[in-house]
Amino acid sequence: MERFAFKMKLKPGFAKEYKKRHDEIWPELKKLISEAGIYDYSIFLDEETDTLFAVQKVSGEGSSQDLGKTEIVKKWWSYMSDIMDANPDKSPVSVPLKEVFYMD
Q: Which of 3, 22, 30, 31 is catalytic?
A: 22
Q: Which of 96, 59, 64 is nearest to 80 (CA)?
A: 64
- Beta-strand relationship, 2-9 and 95-96: antiparallel
Q: Which of 69, 54, 67, 55 is nearest to 1 (CA)?
A: 55
Distance CA 27, CA 70 (A): 15
Please say if 22 is a catalytic residue: yes
Distance CA 54, CA 41 (A): 7
Please list the active-site residues.
22
